[in-house]
Amino acid sequence: MMQSPATYLPVPELASKTLACAVIKQALADALNPTQPANVRRDAFEFLSGDDWYRRWCSMAGLKPVRLISRREAA
């Protein structure tokens, strides 16, 4: 019995969404981990405050690019 093509995501699309979610998750972990070096935390905060790369990764993940951290906290 054949399945409808709409039932499953093509592997490349699934892989890119999985990678995009992993990138966002890692940024959250980096931003919230007090043992990370200051420059890593700063970069993660800037990313999560809605920079261009964050919006691109959200788009790839199929997520609405809502800031997870305010720009004031990223400063």
**pTM metric for this prediction:** 0.78
Task: Look at residue 3 and tell me if it is in a domain.
Answer: no
Which ranges of 1-75 would DSSP assign to H, the alpha helix?
11-32, 38-48, 52-61, 71-74
pLDDT for residue 16 is more than 70: yes
Is residue 2 domain-resident? no
- Asked whether residue 34 carries a pLDDT value surpassing 60, the answer given is yes
Q: How many domains does the chain have?
A: 1
Mean pLDDT of 33-59: 95
Average of per-residue pLDDT across 65-71 = 83
pLDDT > 70? residue 2: no
Q: Does pLDDT of 5 surpass 90?
A: no
CA distances from 69 to 9, 26, 44 (A): 30, 14, 10
Domain ranges, residue 63: 10-74
